[in-house]
Amino acid sequence: MMNEYHNPVLLKETVDGLNINPAGVYVDVTFGGGGHSREILRRLGPSGKLYAFDQDQDALANAIDDDRFVLINENFRFLKRFLRFHNVKQVDGILGDFGVSSHQFDVAERGFSTRFNATLDMRMNQKGELSAYEVVNEYAEEELSRVFFTYGELKNARGLASAIVEARKTQPIKDTDELKKVLSRFLPAHKSNKILAQIYQAIRIEVNQEMEVLREFLEQSLEILKPGGRLSVISYHSLEDRLVKRFIKNGMFEGEPERDMFGRYEVPWKSIGKLIVPTEEEIAINNRARSAKLRIAEKK
């Protein structure tokens, strides 16, 4: 099941980044097909413990039968709350592999992929109330423009929003083919795949509140990690990576840390090694790895 479900990106490098203590407690906040979790368990001793999070119901089918393992069917924005429920206050390492899993892209009816026609869904949590349908059909033009500009980094965000609002006056836009048709004039043949991917990304990030979730997770990870504990996270687009990079560098998302009278400032993280990206070989085997960026940090 796991290989069909999701081929883990930068598997060895991400788990190496945790610098695993065999008796430690670890968290995999993006369980998916369980590839990273299985590798962590392989390196843990009998007294080690691994907690994994995944809000996607489909991921539950991949649960690992191991006394050292607990799978929590929740969004990782609730990291602290659910670890506390399991009487865990601090951990030795946290791993995150963000973005959409291969499985979510490959199941046509989930609506994540530009390759298939599907209802406008894009919910990572199938029980979530907000889907792509509501974003496309109910958001005001100004809001839609904000979504496309902020999360898709699309220069013609206003034009895209206006076309959608005009089209839905006649009837709702129900599926991805209808959305493509409405936006066809913004999709020149030589760039249509790239622009469509940006449009889908923008809607998906809004539906799943991905940037807010990432901020909440990073702040909680700092609280939950022990001093010397490691954070090992993979981002897939510049918006995510920028947040992660800035948080590791400054311990904050905006602005600069306060300096003392000598111009020095304390940050809570130590960056471990340089940015890691997949090799050409890995990208050839797993196309999803193409945009992956791995950053590793240690809590001081």
Q: Which residues pair with 205 in a beta bridge?
A: none
What pLDDT, on the 0 to 100 scale, is given for residue 287?
83
Whether pTM > 0.85 for this model: the answer is: yes
CA distance 275 to 289: 14
Query: Given the DSSP bridges, would you call strands 91-97 and 225-235 parallel, antiparallel or unpaired?
Result: parallel
For every residue of the chain, DSSP letters joined together read -HHHH---TTHHHHHHTT---TT-EEEES--TTSHHHHHHHHH--TT-EEEEE---GGGGGG----TTEEEE-S-GGGHHHHHHHTT---EEEEEEE-S--HHHHHSGGG---TTS--BS---SSTT-S--HHHHHHHS-HHHHHHHHHHHH--TTHHHHHHHHHHHHTTS---BHHHHHHHTGGG--TTTHHHHHHHHHHHHHHHHHTHHHHHHHHHHHHHHHEEEEEEEEEEE-SHHHHHHHHHHHHHSSSSS-PPP-TTS----SEEE-SS-B---HHHHHH-GGGGG-EEEEEEE-
Q: What length does the chain have? A: 300
Please tell me the predicted confidence (pLDDT) of residue 105. 66
pLDDT at 23: 98
**Rounded to whole angstroms, how far apart are CA atoms 151 and 56?**
22
The tens-digit pLDDT sequence of the chain (300 residues) is 444 455 789 999 999 999 999 999 999 999 999 999 999 999 999 999 999 999 988 899 999 999 999 999 999 999 999 999 999 999 999 999 997 766 666 676 687 777 888 999 999 988 899 999 999 999 999 999 999 999 999 999 999 999 999 999 999 999 999 999 999 999 999 999 999 999 999 999 999 999 999 999 999 999 999 999 999 999 999 999 999 999 999 999 988 888 878 878 889 999 999 999 999 999 999 888 999 999 999 999
Phi-psi region of 273 (alpha: psi -120 to 50; beta: other; left: phi over 0): left
* Domains of the chain listed by start with CATH number: 2-102+210-299 (3.40.50.150), 108-208 (1.10.150.170)
